[in-house]
Structure 1
């Protein structure tokens, strides 16, 4: 155990998890690579939990941060803030939500917390519909709508939460159905649920479940849900904290795979937009955003420095078509990983979209989750110079792969080869 690890344990909560038997101290990064305190170089396939969206030490972002910090670092939302207004204008346009208003926060958790406040105030109801296996953050309200009990440490809640089928395609009572029949069954479940409850405020859903192991329903499920929700006046909140900004390759927002009836009423975002700077936010049409009848500000949301970073990062993303790169390189990577998985008795499924890929591990010959194998692969990959993430259902048996969206073909090939070696050592 290193001295820094001992010091960490002495001052940090027991529940603050660290990866690896010998935890890493990352000291610097460049592009898609990071280095630890011992000088070891790693190909980063997790990007600080999908947060380093474009690249480590991206010059355009570091320059924008330095220049803004040299002018003024902080002012709060009590003063006009040019970088905040400029980023809000761009996000409002990109969101697809008509007459959109944007409120910036410091994290995805806080963004979802704000969305819940808006929805419950607008609808005058504390009842929330959420998806099974979901994750929406670590605040008191966010854990109360999280359908993955491994990440929900208390049953106490300010909300009444009802859980809906549909977020996981290949497990559960509808897994054997065709996509069309799966959607119809989930819609029937939602209709039945609403027939036994008071009017709910909103449905909150991740288009692709992040912590849950990069699971997703067939395209169009949330559009079908939307028709039911609209009849009841229930709002749709799309949690785009992990799926936003083109990471799925096919779409700029995850909701667009389900968008035939239009955009969500509320959209939340965070992670990648700041490329490591602390930015979250909420977009909603004006009628919903303006429903609060009390004063509110944000001390740190919309900070001039983080907004400058977000503007530079978003510009780089759009100018270099990183969404297209996620589609092209992500498509190649998932093909390579499926070929690797086909030769492994512990790989149940390789799934995902763009540069958001999950490899679900099971005990050979069964459908039983295998978190021990996932932990072993994580270690074996690290020893070979590749960093991965973990997640999945109620056990961490899914390897989560989400590198910076500027990933090259050569790096994708290298990462897939390392993963193949790591899986073979576990078998």
Structure 2
């Protein structure tokens, strides 16, 4: 048995069966630099999924490595929030300023899941209600409360919930009842649905709406620009808070705005973040209006949230994002790739949609005869791309979407290379099916 096969055997023996691995023959990544990684067998790949959108500015970034090494050299890798943490304060100041939220305050966590739990706690306490609105097809994390507001049965293990949740339309235009509607018409239908839900299914004291500007696990589906502003007009009538889950859409990834919610022309009451901020180091958090953040009366700490090493990495990462204007690069490279994929898509009858913004884009696969979602074709595209040296991810309500989010530092040459591999992979699938 090879060393690789033995590691896979050991993994399956001690890790839970639901801990999914990509690819029919999973890989072990052992090194990386820039936008590329190398596996244990010496194969190098261009990485268009970067640890599920987490290595936001690539691998082995000198400035991030140097910041972490400086912190490690102090001998202090952890003290907890019981002490002043300079790096935490400095990062919170930057995020509060960038958020656009009035009198913003920041609380750091270890992950997006924990950040969303905190945001829900803030809203439930402020409104004295367990009622929450969420979006169909959404994903907000793996914990009990986060699963409760996740509108995707594939990620829900239990029917019971700590929250009273009602799910809204807004990112599900594939449904037959919305066929042919313009953006404005679909937005109006969704707003009327929101009003109807509030009038029929709630007790009138709803705490918040939590929503992803672009649904990550949902396959990068998204509401029309402006929908959440239209929603917020209704929410404000009832005092309902708006929570924007920016775990995947933050830090300029969409190209056009620094936060995904910016496409809707509205400032939320609360935003959550995680993933790319630490460029691989565990960091998440919440930025919210000061009155909401200060409103909790019980004592609170975060043992590991905002630890000195993660803060060093996150400060260096955010400084690079801002200093190099990587948001503009995301917009430029994304336009190249998305435009190229859309031009090619007509040649492939099994490509149902190409969508995305900036360096956050997806290909939806379907049966060309029936139009039904095709998870098998999505898996085939992943394998074909990997065989040509490109790593991608998958998602979608039906598991039929290949989703990609390259590092924000992607170069022109790497964009062209990745686009070429994707089109070649689609061509190989087309040839195999003809």
Normalising by structure 2, what TM-score?
A: 0.96
Are 1:252 and 2:255 counterparts? Answer: no
Find 2:97's aligned residue among 80, 93, 97. 93
Shift of 1:183: 0.5
Shift of 1:181: 0.6
Shift of 1:152: 1.2
Between the aligned partners of 1:33 and 1:396, the Cα distance in structure 2 is 26
Between the aligned partners of 2:71 and 2:269, the Cα distance in structure 1 is 33
CA contact (8 A) 1:361 1:369 kept: yes
Q: Which residue of 1 aligns with 2:148?
A: 144
Q: Deviations over 1:254-278 (max 9, x none)?
A: 111112xx41001000001101100
CA contact (8 A) 1:170 1:176 kept: no
Between the aligned partners of 1:62 and 1:267, the Cα distance in structure 2 is 28
CA contact (8 A) 1:169 1:215 kept: no
Q: Which residue of 2 aligns with 1:336?
A: 340
Match of 2:222, SS? coil
Between the aligned partners of 2:177 and 2:85, the Cα distance in structure 1 is 51
* Within-5 A mapping of 1:13-92: 13-71=16-74, 72-92=76-96
Between the aligned partners of 1:80 and 1:143, the Cα distance in structure 2 is 33
CA contact (8 A) 1:169 1:218 kept: no
Are 1:5 and 2:8 counterparts? Answer: yes
Match of 1:224, SS? helix
Deviates most, 175-184 or 73-82: 175-184
Match of 2:413, SS? helix
Between the aligned partners of 2:346 and 2:286, the Cα distance in structure 1 is 41
Between the aligned partners of 2:127 and 2:292, the Cα distance in structure 1 is 9
Between the aligned partners of 1:418 and 1:247, the Cα distance in structure 2 is 22
Match of 2:68, SS? helix
Q: Which residue of 2 aligns with 1:419?
A: 422
Q: Which residue of 1 aligns with 2:110?
A: 106
Between the aligned partners of 1:354 and 1:415, the Cα distance in structure 2 is 15
Q: Which residue of 2 aligns with 1:185?
A: 189
Shift of 1:410: 1.2
Shift of 1:170: 3.7
Q: Deviations over 1:230-261 (max 9, x none)?
A: 000000000000000000000000111112xx
Between the aligned partners of 1:168 and 1:266, the Cα distance in structure 2 is 24
Q: Which residue of 1 aligns with 2:300?
A: 296
Between the aligned partners of 2:413 and 2:174, the Cα distance in structure 1 is 31
Q: Give the 3 Å change call, closer, same or farther, for CA 183–4 of structure 1 in structure 2.
A: same
Between the aligned partners of 2:337 and 2:185, the Cα distance in structure 1 is 30
Q: Which residue of 1 aligns with 2:357?
A: 353
User: Which segments of 5 or more consecutive residues in structure 2 lack a partner in the other structure?
Assistant: none
Q: Which residue of 1 aligns with 2:233?
A: 227
Shift of 1:386: 0.3
User: Which segments of 5 or more consecutive residues in structure 1 lack a partner in the other structure?
Assistant: none
CA contact (8 A) 1:175 1:182 kept: no
Shift of 1:425: 2.2
Between the aligned partners of 1:365 and 1:401, the Cα distance in structure 2 is 26
Shift of 1:167: 1.8
* Within-5 A mapping of 1:207-226: 207-226=213-232
Q: Deviations over 1:176-213 (max 9, x none)?
A: 21111111000000001101111210000000000000
* Within-5 A mapping of 1:265-414: 265-393=269-397, 395-414=398-417
Shift of 1:66: 1.0
Shift of 1:366: 2.8
Deviates most, 164-173 or 247-256: 164-173
Shift of 1:154: 1.2
**Number of aligned residues:** 424
Shift of 1:417: 1.1
Shift of 1:290: 1.2
CA contact (8 A) 1:46 1:401 kept: yes
Match of 1:200, SS? coil
Between the aligned partners of 1:114 and 1:70, the Cα distance in structure 2 is 32
Between the aligned partners of 1:125 and 1:220, the Cα distance in structure 2 is 27
Q: Which residue of 2 aligns with 1:123?
A: 127
* Deviant stretches of 4+, over 3 Å: 169-172
Match of 1:195, SS? helix
Shift of 1:423: 1.5
Shift of 1:424: 2.1
Match of 1:236, SS? strand
